[in-house]
Amino acid sequence: MALLFTAQPSSLFLSQSPKPSLPLPLKSNSLSFPLSTKPHKSLNITDEWGEKTELGSEPEPTKLPDSDPPINEDEWEEEFIEKGNGVPTAAAEKVEEEAFDNRIEDLKRCLVDTFYGTELGFRAGAEVRAEVLELVNQLEAVNPTRAPVEATQLLDGNWVLLYTAFSELLPLLAAGATPFLKVKSISQTIDTGSLSIVNSTTLSSPFAEFSFSATAAFEVRTPSRIQVEFKEGTLQPPEIKPTVDLPAEVDVFGQKISLLPVQQSLAPLQDLVAGISRGISGQPPLKIPIPGERSKSWLLITYLDEDLRISRGDGGLFVLARQGSPLLDQ
């Protein structure tokens, strides 16, 4: 009601012809707050730790970039997926593959160098055998052919023995260590088409070369293991040399003995030896069956590539190189 009647009460009782009066301004009793156009000042409050905090201030809005971040694309607009080192995936895989191949080649060369001069392992000492076994284990761990028996293109062919720790070959290797008899070669031919294996050995003496072999059939048991059963052995007629091939000297209990006088005394027998060679060369080979349980064996191929094969069988270790491999020249 105070807002409607703001004039003084005595003004209601004036004369009948009152003098018109101007209306008095109404005095409002309502509350009002002045609006300030000055910028609002922020307040600084100090907390109990003595650190000041500014109230009333609002962070400035961040401005988003007008364009997306650049994408690593090549000139053909193909995006590369980068690894942690920033190298494209294709290039990194190629580098890793080359490093892997170089490591295998280094291990193979080191292995061949380790047993060099041991006469297929016969003269290898305990230290050399331990080092060979360590290198073999490292190669087996990085075997590039996970299913060797199924890799027929790699497995087929003639393999030349480089080193063995097979005890049953020790008598043969011991005979080959004598001055007048040498093991010229021991090889193994594998034919996965006919499921057959032929082990061949050639011994060389000053007068002739003797060759014999053993033929076996095999069955595939696992992708890396075969079961072998030897069928028969074959003795080839000795190949008489046209000349007597004696070494210049022999080592007997650490002493060098010259054989030149012996060579001179055998010179008149050259014609006789040549006649015997012509007579024997036409003879057929002698075949001998191999019966019994000892004819059965197994072979586990633990490493295989284009020029090296490592196998284990019946407690023996065999390291072989493919015929024609550069490893045979080391």
Which tens digit of pLDDT belongs to each residue from 197-208?
A: 999 999 998 878
What is the pTM assigned to this prediction?
0.67
- Residue, of 294 and 66, whose pLDDT is higher: 294
Tens-digit pLDDT profile for residues 124-140: 999 999 999 999 999 99
Q: How high is the pLDDT of residue 269? A: 65
The answer as to whether 52 is a domain residue is no
Model confidence at 164: pLDDT above 90: yes
| Strand ranges (E), 115-238 | 157-164, 182-191, 196-204, 208-222, 225-235
The answer as to whether 213 is a domain residue is yes
Residue 2's SS3 state is coil
Question: Any bridge partners for residue 46, and if so which?
Answer: 52
CATH number at residue 140: 2.40.128.280
- How many whole angstroms separate alpha carbon 325 and alpha carbon 307? 6
The answer as to whether 80 is a domain residue is no
The answer as to whether 240 is a domain residue is yes
Using pLDDT thresholds of 50, 70 and 90, give the confidence band for residue 181.
confident
Report the residue count for the chain.
Answer: 330
Residue written as token pair 């072989």: 320
Q: How high is the pLDDT of residue 168? A: 82
Residue 262's SS3 state is helix
Query: Which among 133, 201, 156 is positioned nearest to 304, based on CA atoms?
Result: 156
Please state the domain count of the chain: 1
Structural domain span for residue 180: 97-271+280-328
Using pLDDT thresholds of 50, 70 and 90, give the confidence band for residue 2.
very low
The answer as to whether 54 is a domain residue is no
Q: How high is the pLDDT of residue 72? A: 52
H-type alpha helices, the chain = 89-114, 126-141, 152-155, 170-175, 260-265, 270-280
The answer as to whether 71 is a domain residue is no
The answer as to whether 230 is a domain residue is yes
The answer as to whether 223 is a domain residue is yes
- Residue, of 156 and 26, whose pLDDT is higher: 156
